[in-house]
Amino acid sequence: MHKNLSIPSDTALRLEKNDGQQLSWNLKGILFLLGKPGFGIAHFLSSELARRRVSVRIIDCAIRFDIFQITDFMERAGVGDDILEEIQICRAFTPYQILDSASQILNSEDRREITVYLAPFKQFFDGDVKTDEAKFLLRRLLQKLSFLQKKGCSLILAEKEKYSSAVFPEALSVLRSFVSAEWDLRSSSAALPYNENTLFGEV
């Protein structure tokens, strides 16, 4: 469970869990949100960053994007729909499209942009992708993500904690070894309500 989540003026993201554990990310490199609640948190972070006029590109890899979470944030935060101008939605429903999207980030000149991946691993475990091919393509994706991490590109990756594929545990372990910050949300609530006292209120 998390207690509150805030984006203060020093542009660091911080999460205080109910057990008192403090989690943070300085907007540099990769923030990894582990667990299904991370998908909701990624929406709220995207909305708040857009409110602060930070360009956000959301790459939906598994039909996880929910516009209603964005509009709910806007209503609760009392902000206009002009923040939507800062949010770009992209779809990447094959491993090759996901790999291409990572290459596009490397070539982007907009260093203010933060890219948010929703369920980037899922398509690699699709029934049409053979195990050996999944291993090879995942290795390429992890290499690209590691390079983006070293270059200081800003990314948020939200991924659930488990897939039935035997390839997933190793890929997850490699990813966790090089990200800037990991927020383990596996035991957290799925929603972050907003109120006037804290950015996302108490859960």
What residue ranges do the domains of the chain occupy? 26-184
Amino acid at 24: S
Average pLDDT over residues 65-70: 93
pLDDT number for residue 73: 86
Average pLDDT over residues 137-157: 95
First-to-last C-alpha distance (Å) of the chain: 7
Token pair for residue 147? Answer: 């390079």
76 close to 200: Cβ distance less than 8 angstroms: no
Q: Where are the alpha helices (DSSP H) in 30-189?
A: 37-51, 67-77, 95-107, 131-150, 168-178
- Classify residue 4 as left (phi > 0), alpha (psi -120 to 50) or beta: beta
Instruction: Return the percentage of the chain with pLDDT > 90, whole number.
Output: 55
Angle at the Cα of 175 from the Cα atoms of 169 and 180, rounded to 5 degrees: 145
pLDDT number for residue 201: 32
Q: Is the pTM of this model over 0.75?
A: yes
pLDDT number for residue 111: 60
Angle at the Cα of 46 from the Cα atoms of 42 and 50, rounded to 5 degrees: 170
Domain covering 26-184 assigned CATH 3.10.20.30 in the classification: no
Pairing mode of beta strands 22-25, 114-118: unpaired
CB atoms within 10 A of CB 196: 8
The helices-and-strands tally (H runs, E runs) of the chain is 5, 9
